[in-house]
A = this chain, B = another copy of it.
Amino acid sequence: LSCPHALNEPLKKASAILRSFAWDAYMAEFVGTFFLVLTIGLNVVQGNDLAPLSIGAILMVMIFAMGSVSGGHFNPAVTLAVWLSRRQKITLRDAGIYWVVQLLAGLVAGLTYSGVLGASFALEPIDDKRGTIMSACLVEILYTCALCLVILNVATTNQDTPNHYFGLAIGSTVGSAAIAIGGVSGCSLNPAVSFGVTITHVLTMESEGRHWDYIGLYLAAPLVGAALAAAIFYAVRPAEYGGKKDK
C-alpha cells in the first residue's frame, strides 16, 4: 500500500508505536486469565468437591504454557507485586495494559460459564456472623501475600531462575488457599476473578443490589496482600537488590 507523502511519517510513527506493544504477551494474559476464571466459575457453580484441585491445576498449566511469553500473571495483584518489586521486570505501561486485559478476560470468562451453566455466584464472606468480614479480609490479604511471595521468589529471582517448578509452586499456592480459606472468604486472591465473577452475577441474576456489597473488599484486599509480599521479598532476598549474596 502506497500512501501520500504527507501521511507517511505519522503512519510510520503509529506503526512503530504499535510494534512496541507486546501483543503476544497481552494475548497470553487474556487466554490464561480466561481459562482460570472459567474454571473457577464452572467448579464453584457446580459445587465440585475437587474444585480447588481443578483451579490450582488450570493456573499451573497456563503458567507453564504462557510463562515465557507474558510472565503468566493472570492476576492484577500479581502484576502489582512484580511492578512493586522493581528490578525492571515490567513497565508501568505494560502493567496498566495487563490490568485491563486481565479484568476483561475475567468478565468474558464470567459470561461464558454463566451461559454454559445458566447460573452464576457471588463472592462474599461465607458466614455473616460478627467479625466475618474482617476475617475474610484478613485471609484474602494473607493468602494473596503468600501467592505473590511465591511468585516473586520462584519466577523472578536471579538466584533461582530458570527452574522447572515455577508453575507447580504457583498453582499449588492457589489450590492450597482454596481449600484452606474457601470456607472463610470464598478465596479470590485476584481482582480479575472478583471483577468477572461479580459483574457477571449482577448482569445475569435477579440482582438485588447487595451483590455489590463486597466487591470493594475483594478488589482491594488482594492488592494489599501484593504490596505486603513485595515488602517481605525485599527483606528476604537482599541478593536480588545488590545486597550480600544469600548463602
Q: Interface of A with B (CB < 8 Å)?
A: 22-25, 27-28, 31, 35, 38-39, 42-43, 46, 48-58, 60-62, 64-66, 68-69, 112, 115-118, 131, 135, 138-139, 142, 146, 149-150, 153-154, 159-160, 163-165, 167-173, 175-177, 179-181, 183-184, 232, 235-238, 246-247
CB distance from A34 to the nearest CB of B (A): 9
Partner of A164, one of B55, B115, B165, B236: B165
CB distance from A100 to the nearest CB of B (A): 18
Asked whether B169 lies within 8 Å of A169 as measured between CB atoms, the reply is no
User: Would you call the interface of chain A mostly helix, strand, loop, or mixed?
Assistant: helix
Asked whether A180 lies within 8 Å of B58 as measured between CB atoms, the reply is yes
Asked whether B235 lies within 8 Å of A176 as measured between CB atoms, the reply is no
Asked whether B39 lies within 8 Å of A165 as measured between CB atoms, the reply is no
Asked whether A232 lies within 8 Å of B169 as measured between CB atoms, the reply is no
Docked pose: A112 CA to B142 CA in angstroms: 10
CB distance from A68 to the nearest CB of B (A): 6
| Nearest 3 interchain pairs by C-beta | A54-B179, A57-B176, A65-B153
Which chain B residues border A236 with CB–CB below 8 Å?
A: 24, 27-28, 31, 66, 69
Which chain B residues border A184 with CB–CB below 8 Å?
A: 42, 46, 116-117
Which chain B residues border A112 with CB–CB below 8 Å?
A: 138, 142
Asked whether A64 lies within 8 Å of B165 as measured between CB atoms, the reply is yes
Asked whether A68 lies within 8 Å of B31 as measured between CB atoms, the reply is no
